[in-house]
């Protein structure tokens, strides 16, 4: 049996921290997994993963202490099943706006009688022959709340059996509200929307999460009550590290 350590932490009310792997590089994903985070989220929506590389990415993360999570490209039964068959232990589904869409996510993620996932698996069998006996309990299923409509329906969405929690997309939520994402921290309506989703999680006993985008905002998000916390990506680490190194070189030249 494989214990989803990240999910178990969140069920105890403890924050679980993770990084997003967007480059489509299994090697980069493996390095993220060895950084000490609780999970690595292979980003099928905004990342550069193909079907084959995603399986390699899942394998790479499984070679680290981190739990292999993935964001689906969109809410589509066969795609979600392929991620699970690859050994993914956490599924995040974008743009879930209604109770019907949330039900579709829940059905796709768990074997009968809890859901309608097709009975079969691929590299997930590396977890052992008992995989189908425990995966329904260990898989973490989160829907993304990232539109005005989703916020309005948040409590109904989160009350769906089989949905473990959510991940707010603050940038898309800002766009849905009619202003640029950079204005979100200063807009009262955006703050109130986050609070409404957190309350919906409390009322339904589900796990509140948010895509922080960067680790410097983690403290504020924890204070707000979020415990599922992706906090940066391989793309950002690469570009920011490269830019910082060049800036040091430029300063050295300027002083010479």
Residues above pLDDT 70, as percent of the chain: 99
Backbone angles phi, psi at 139, to 5 degrees: -70, 140
Does pLDDT of 1 surpass 90? yes
pLDDT of residue 189: 97
Q: pTM for the full model?
A: 0.95
DSSP lists the bridge partners of residue 145 as 168
Under CATH, which architecture does the 5-255 domain have?
Alpha-Beta Barrel (3.20)
Query: How buried is 47 (Cβ within 10 angstroms: 0-12 exposed, 13-18 middle, 19+ buried)?
Result: buried
CB 41 within 8 A of CB 11: no
Tell me how far apart the alpha carbons of residues 71 and 144 are, in angstroms, rounded to a whole number.
10
Q: Where are the domains of the chain?
A: 5-255
| Residues designated catalytic | 46
Tokens 């990232």 found at: 146
DSSP lists the bridge partners of residue 166 as 143
* Segment 28-84, tens digit of pLDDT: 999 999 999 999 999 999 999 998 899 999 999 999 999 999 999 999 999 999 999
Pair of tokens at residue 228: 């599922």
Which DSSP letter does residue 116 get? -
């Amino acid at each position: 049996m494989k214990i989803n350590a990240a999910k178990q932490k969140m069920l105890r009310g403890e924050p679980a921290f993770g990084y997003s792997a967007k480059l489509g590089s299994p090697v980069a994903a493996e390095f993220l997994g060895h950084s000490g985070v609780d999970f690595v989220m292979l980003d099928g929506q905004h990342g550069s993963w193909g079907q084959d590389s995603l399986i390699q990415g899942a394998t790479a993360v499984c070679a680290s202490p981190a739990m292999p999570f993935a964001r689906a490209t969109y809410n589509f039964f066969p795609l979600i099943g392929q991620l699970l068959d690859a050994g993914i232990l956490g599924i995040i589904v974008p743009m879930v706006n209604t109770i019907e869409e949330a039900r579709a996510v829940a059905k796709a993620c768990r074997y009968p009688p809890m859901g309608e996932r097709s009975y079969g698996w691929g590299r997930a069998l590396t977890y052992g022959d008992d995989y189908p006996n425990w995966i329904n309990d260990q898989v973490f299923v989160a829907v993304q709340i990232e539109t005005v409509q989703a916020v309005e329906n948040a409590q109904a969405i989160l009350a769906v059996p089989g949905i473990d929690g959510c991940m707010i997309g603050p940038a898309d939520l800002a766009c849905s509200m009619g202003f640029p994402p950079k204005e979100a921290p200063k807009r009262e309506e955006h703050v109130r929307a986050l609070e409404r989703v957190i309350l919906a999680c409390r009322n339904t006993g589900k796990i509140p999460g948010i895509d922080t985008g960067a680790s410097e905002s983690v403290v504020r998000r924890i204070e707000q009550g979020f415990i599922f916390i992706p906090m940066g990506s391989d793309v950002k680490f690469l570009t920011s590290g490269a830019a910082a190194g060049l800036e040091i070189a430029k300063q050295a030249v300027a002083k010479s």
